[in-house]
Amino acid sequence: MALEHVVAFLSKHADGILKNQVQELQNQLIELLYDDLSHPPATYIGTQYQYRTADGSYNNICDPSMGKADLPYARSVQQTHPNPRNMLPDAGLVFDSLLKREKFVRHPAGLSSMMFSFAALVIHTVFRTSHKDVSINETSSYVDLAPLYGNNVEKLSKIRVGDGRGLLHPDTFAEDRLLLLPPAVCVLLVLFNRNHNYIANKLLEINERGTWTNPDDIPVGDPQRSMKIHDQDEEIFQTARLINCSWFGSAIFSDYFSSILGLARQGSTWSLDPFGEIRDMDHKLFERGKGNVCSVEFNCLYRWHATTSEADEKWVEQLMGHVFPNQSIDSLTTQDFKDAVLKVQAEEPDITHWTFGNLQRGKDGRFKDSELAAIIKNAVEHPAATFGARGTPHIMRLHEIMGIESNRRWGVCSLNEFRKFLGLKTYSSFLEWNSNPEVAEVAERLYGNIENLELYVGLQAEEAKPLVDGAGLCPGYTISRAILSDAIALTRGDRYFTADYTPFNLTAWGFADSQRDVNSPGNGSILGRLILRGLPGEFTENSTYTWFPLQTPESMKVFLGKLGTAGRYNFTRPGNAPIIATAREYNDVRQVLGGAQFRPSYGDKAARVISGEGFFLASNNDAESQRDQREVLRVLQTSPDEAEKIAHYFYERTRKLIISKSYTLADKGIKFVDIARDVLRYVPLYWTATELAGLTLKADDDSWGDYTEPQLYDMITDIYSFLFLDVDSAKALNLEERVKEHITDLQRHIKANVLADVGGKLSIAGLVGTIQSLFSTKARKEKLSVAESLFANGASVERTTNNVLSLLVGASVELSQSIINIVNFYLDQPNVVSQLRAADAKNPDLESYIYEAMRIDPPFRGVYRESLADQNVGSLTLSKGQRVFVDLAHASQDPHVFPNPRTVNVHRESKERYLTGDGVTRSLGVELTTKIMSQVLRAVFEFDGIRRGPGLSGTLKRYKVAEENTLRYEYLGEDQLPTAWPNTMVLQVSSPYIVTRFV
């Protein structure tokens, strides 16, 4: 309320004896209020300003040409010390004397060749000097992935598909100069191409605003078809580009700067964050998003040829030998280079047929994943060289001469003038600049006075920094200071990384997807995620090749060993992606599911997180697993009417939750209930947790009990996802570690409850846990019949605990998921709803409705099996140990088995024809599972007037996944990232409740 007090004071004393002081206070208040806002405004509304332009124009809305491609470089430093060209030494002599490599010296921080491949991509994003006029920068001055997208509309259009999906042609990029660099640079561009297409496809799948449609669904006869496809393609493409550039920027400030500042070896997740709003002490906004223009001084700075690895040096030698046959390196001139470039460009094929590194494109235009991955793995293994004098390979002599000559034509400042501009101490002697007496003496003989040392040479031959905390790149001192300034200018000056970096422009999912997660492996690596997304299966989720690609594996083994985290990672080279076969046809699917030469392939995963015997749901011991499964199913149904009792429990629990969780809004005659979030998500959990595992659910964190409903649900979805679903590889390592913690905690609670119930022997450590559990959970209501029966049949404490845990995991969240899908499926079928309302508990059609809904709209696409022998299944030839994905969803649409497969028909004969997978049916059996689902369905639809909530609130917010894996649908969680689990669907019912009850 300070502002109100100030205004009141001003109004009361405006004409009093404090008039002058009041006027001064009023002036300060006006300045404060004026400075609340940006002047001029930070951005404008509309697509002209929402998306990046191809040439970088309009980044600064007040000066649209600032940073635009094909404009001159800027000059940052005024030259005051005369350094006439006719007084400077021959550029070739300078290279031979000060820069030419004498021997390869490994980089002291263990940086890999991949580090400088990524650096090359960053550098070529903002620097592209014209061969016709060296004062012109042919690309924009922004981190906009210009090597991928091009620096003008013409180049951009060549790589776009334009089919309404916003896609790029597979594995293409716009910058031909990178074809002359080691192939790892081009592989990075291919990964960003694939990332763009992944993003574009995901944007269309999610369709956040509901304005896009599958282009194939637009009628060919629609006169506006071309315009609709063009407009949609432009929106999706531009949005995907914003997100992809955000990925690039995030990679720079995570992986790249982590290695530059030595954070990777310290295990630090910290990074510079130049993007946010900053206010000075006087409340004024510190400038951001006002544009940037790259300068010639920084062009001189980013010539890091000295770091070239031995492998890349050999690659360049082969390239130069091909481009300049029968010519010695020392005889090549700048004109030779220009002529060669023109010749190479003239011989270039269509952009969609460019190749590099002796790779060949497939018929689909893509390169082989395994070959791209091999290039990255090699680059990660190859150590980079150190910075400093006499470190640049001889093969790059011409490159360096051209750089020196450009430096002179630009008339840039001297090294000392540049240092003074940055606020650094100027050098007083050559020996202070480089403590190597021989290097210092040669430089002095070439330049005479330290003030004459030109910027280009001075930067490249400056003594390298030692390896200390805060240093990882270890170039010369001047470079290490200047690159930080340049990075901040490039990114903080970019409107699309600041004022226009919003969830609206990028979509909520895109904004979340491009964020760095500091808790992910590799200290929050973005490049690791990019590699896993672009090359699925070629890198493992715990490999340093994945998460620390800018460091050599051997260096990371030392660094992580010192940090005590080496056990988390694997340091060996990842193998090629395993070949997974897919069984899709009905007969093939039945043969794989029922064949003795196949088994569920989840045992290896389970063994990584679950210790001890038992857990029949996922075990490599087939005989024990089947025996435990049979025993569990037997004790669950000890009498003929036990299944009916269990199903009735679900019926009553569903009704009670709908009534207790419903609420009213404007119309008191209508009740609303979030059937997914508050009811169906938890109905199976109550039974498995409280009735089978003996857990106590509590209302909130401060209440008495073991877990809250959301806590336990999240724990079990984590476990289920890890064991049975295809999860994002980038999240797999963290998920596994989380699952280990969940299972240990659940085992402790279950074991304590089991022993308290049936009386058993326990270790001292387990006894402590049991006593604690007994005191914390007071007294148990009743005996746990399942555990008691398992004990009675000779099961150990460990086996009983794990098999109860198996029930808890297998019979809860998948059952919830299935029921939510079934309710959603029938809500839009009023005839079925009326039949469900009229059905009593014994109606046989109820279970048929379950079978049909699960067949037509299953919650998951399929399951995995492992082939136990070399064998043939239909058209599939399988090897022993090979994984097979069993596509239940596709097979269940076979019209020969299910005539009119998309139609609900409750009179289909022989229920055995229906296909079931793992999880709930394996835990409870098909018959009990179906009974439970049917009674929950009856409980939901017996409420009078039950229907979807208004607008989008009543929809199940899911989208279909294109990838052929276990997931058919994904949902967006509260963090706007994909999840396999539904979170909301609001229904409305009449109030007061009118419920039709049948006995």
**What digits encode the pLDDT tens for the residues 743-784?**
999 999 998 887 765 554 444 334 344 434 444 444 344 445
Do residues 187 and 530 lie in contact, with contact meaning Cβ atoms separated by under 8 Å? no
Q: Report the pLDDT averaged over residues 176-190.
A: 96
| Active-site residue, from 39, 107, 124, 399 | 124
Do residues 300 and 455 lie in contact, with contact meaning Cβ atoms separated by under 8 Å? yes
Question: In terms of pLDDT, which residue wins out, 203 or 796?
Answer: 203
Per-residue model confidence as pLDDT tens digits over 889-908:
999 999 999 999 999 999 99
Q: Provide the pLDDT confidence category of residue 12 given band limits of 50, 70 and 90.
A: confident
Dihedral (Cα; 622, 623, 626, 630), 10-degree rounding: -170
**One-letter identity of residue 170:** P
**Rg, the chain, Cα only:** 34
The answer, yes or no, to whether residue 210 has pLDDT greater than 50, is yes
Predicted local distance difference test score (pLDDT) of residue 777: 42
Strands 883-887 and 581-583: parallel
For the chain, the domains span: 2-34, 35-577, 581-662+674-939
Interatomic CA distance for residues 932 and 950, integer angstroms? 29
Q: What angle do CA 369, 372, 375 make, to 5 degrees?
A: 145
Question: In terms of pLDDT, which residue wins out, 423 or 15?
Answer: 423
Which pair of tokens denotes residue 574? Answer: 């990842």
The answer, yes or no, to whether residue 464 has pLDDT greater than 50, is yes
Interatomic CA distance for residues 709 and 703, integer angstroms? 12
Predicted local distance difference test score (pLDDT) of residue 759: 53
Question: What are the Cα distances from residue 247, in Å, to 193, 197, 490?
Answer: 12, 13, 15
Q: Report the pLDDT averaged over residues 415-420.
A: 97
* 687 exposure class (CB count in 10 Å sphere: 0-12, 13-18, 19+): buried
Measured in whole angstroms, the distance separating CA 256 from the mean position of its chain's CA atoms is 17
The answer, yes or no, to whether residue 993 has pLDDT greater than 60, is no
Interatomic CA distance for residues 769 and 779, integer angstroms? 15
**DSSP H/E element including 711:** helix 709-724
Peptide bond between residue 40 and the one before it cis (omega within 30 degrees of 0): yes
The answer, yes or no, to whether residue 530 has pLDDT greater than 80, is yes
Per-residue model confidence as pLDDT tens digits over 334-351:
888 888 888 877 878 899
Question: What are the Cα distances from residue 161, in Å, to 78, 169, 170, 221?
Answer: 46, 6, 9, 22
Predicted local distance difference test score (pLDDT) of residue 839: 80
The answer, yes or no, to whether residue 963 has pLDDT greater than 70, is yes
Interatomic CA distance for residues 840 and 851, integer angstroms? 18
Predicted local distance difference test score (pLDDT) of residue 784: 56
Predicted local distance difference test score (pLDDT) of residue 767: 38
Which residues are 295's β-sheet partners? 74
Predicted local distance difference test score (pLDDT) of residue 792: 75
DSSP secondary structure, 518-555, as one string: TTSHHHH-SHHHHHHHHSTTTS-TTBHHHH-TTB-HHH
Is 124 marked active-site? Answer: yes
Q: Provide the pLDDT confidence category of residue 538 given band limits of 50, 70 and 90.
A: very high
Segments in 548-602 forming alpha helices (H): 553-563, 586-594
Interatomic CA distance for residues 999 and 995, integer angstroms? 13
Name the least confident of 541-550, 567-576, 582-591, 921-930.
Answer: 921-930
Predicted local distance difference test score (pLDDT) of residue 758: 55
**One-letter identity of residue 177:** R
Interatomic CA distance for residues 330 and 697, integer angstroms? 79
Do residues 430 and 414 lie in contact, with contact meaning Cβ atoms separated by under 8 Å? no
Strands 862-867 and 598-600: antiparallel
Interatomic CA distance for residues 993 and 975, integer angstroms? 35
According to DSSP, residue 87 is labeled G
Note if the pTM is more than 0.85: yes
Any known ligand binding at 742?
Answer: no
Predicted local distance difference test score (pLDDT) of residue 763: 40
Question: What are the Cα distances from residue 681, in Å, to 195, 706, 936, 946?
Answer: 34, 18, 12, 18
Residues 6+ apart with CB under 8 A from 724: 602, 618, 863, 918, 919, 966
The answer, yes or no, to whether residue 50 has pLDDT greater than 90, is yes
Question: What are the Cα distances from residue 607, in Å, to 427, 740, 766?
Answer: 62, 11, 21
Report the largest interatomic distance among the alpha carbons of the chain, rounded to a whole angstrom: 106
Interatomic CA distance for residues 504 and 500, integer angstroms? 9
Which pair of tokens denotes residue 321? Answer: 């030998």
**DSSP H/E element including 867:** strand 862-867
Predicted local distance difference test score (pLDDT) of residue 282: 77
* 676 exposure class (CB count in 10 Å sphere: 0-12, 13-18, 19+): buried
Per-residue model confidence as pLDDT tens digits over 616-643:
999 888 888 888 888 888 888 878 788 9
Interatomic CA distance for residues 117 and 527, integer angstroms? 13
The answer, yes or no, to whether residue 988 has pLDDT greater than 50, is yes
Query: Which CATH superfamily does the domain covering 35-577 fall into?
Result: Haem peroxidase domain superfamily, animal type (1.10.640.10)
Residues 6+ apart with CB under 8 A from 103: none
The answer, yes or no, to whether residue 811 has pLDDT greater than 70, is yes
What percentage of residues in the chain have a pLDDT greater than 90?
Answer: 76
Hey, what CATH topology would domain 581-662+674-939 get? Answer: Cytochrome p450 (1.10.630)
According to DSSP, residue 383 is labeled B
Question: In terms of pLDDT, which residue wins out, 212 or 638?
Answer: 212
Q: Report residue 458: phi and psi, to 5°.
A: -60, -40
Count Cβ atoms below 10 Å from residue 657 Cβ, excluding itself.
Answer: 20
Q: Report the pLDDT averaged over residues 609-614.
A: 91
The answer, yes or no, to whether residue 872 has pLDDT greater than 80, is yes
Interatomic CA distance for residues 379 and 373, integer angstroms? 10
Q: Report the pLDDT averaged over residues 683-688.
A: 95
Question: In terms of pLDDT, which residue wins out, 793 or 888?
Answer: 888
Exposed e or buried b per residue across 327-347, where buried means at least 16 C-beta atoms within 10 angstroms of its C-beta = eeeeebeeeebeebeeeeeee
* 35 exposure class (CB count in 10 Å sphere: 0-12, 13-18, 19+): middle
Predicted local distance difference test score (pLDDT) of residue 275: 84
Q: Report the pLDDT averaged over residues 198-221.
A: 95
The rounded mean pLDDT for the chain is 92
Peptide bond between residue 992 and the one before it cis (omega within 30 degrees of 0): yes
Which pair of tokens denotes residue 113? Answer: 């060749």
Can you point out the beta strands (E) in 682-841?
A: 697-698, 707-708
Helix (H, G, I), strand (E, B) or coil at 286: coil
Predicted local distance difference test score (pLDDT) of residue 764: 37
Q: Report residue 485: phi and psi, to 5°.
A: -60, -40
Q: Report the pLDDT averaged over residues 118-133.
A: 95
Do residues 184 and 113 lie in contact, with contact meaning Cβ atoms separated by under 8 Å? yes
Own/partner long-range contacts of 650-653 (Cβ < 8 Å, ≥24 apart): 650/683, 650/684, 650/687, 650/932, 650/935, 650/936, 650/939, 651/841, 651/935, 651/936, 651/938, 651/939, 652/939, 653/683, 653/686, 653/687
